[in-house]
Structure 1
Amino acid sequence: MPRALPSSSAAFVLRQMMGVKLTKPEQLALVDCLVHPHRTHLEIAERHGIDRAHLQDLYFDLFTVPERARAAQNRSK
């Protein structure tokens, strides 16, 4: 029977994204990165109208080095 609750990894992603003030294009680009891992950060950033380096910083700060999420939050203020 399928579960209606998100998996722990989905919960992690949601917690990380909710803990930082993100614009709508940033949110969509980050989700795009997770859903389409074969696409480059440049391709995704251009698609959503944001800077590639900024998207890459957000992605790595939030998802690969979560303890740096506070730094990302401070940068977005």
Structure 2
Amino acid sequence: MNATVSQAPSGKYFVSICCTDVDIEPYAPTGQTVGVDMGISNLAALSTGESIPNPKHLRKAEKRLTRALLVIAI
């Protein structure tokens, strides 16, 4: 096992841990398949009818930036 500690430019710290001697039980095969279609408005659409929404990281970051700029302007 080993770990790597890194610091982002924002000052946050991140730890990555790698475990090499871990016994993992494999899943039993189900015989089912699913198709995945990557998109823009939705992150992914599955052949089962499920839709996974896009997390919209850029829009969230823009909102945080707008709030921070308003605080600085005051």
Same fold (TM over 0.5): no
TM-score (normalizing by structure 2): 0.22
Higher share of residues assigned strand: 2
Task: Tell which has more relative contact order, 1 or 2 (C-alpha 8 A, sep 6+).
Answer: 1
Higher share of residues assigned helix: 1
Query: Which structure has the larger Rg?
Result: 2
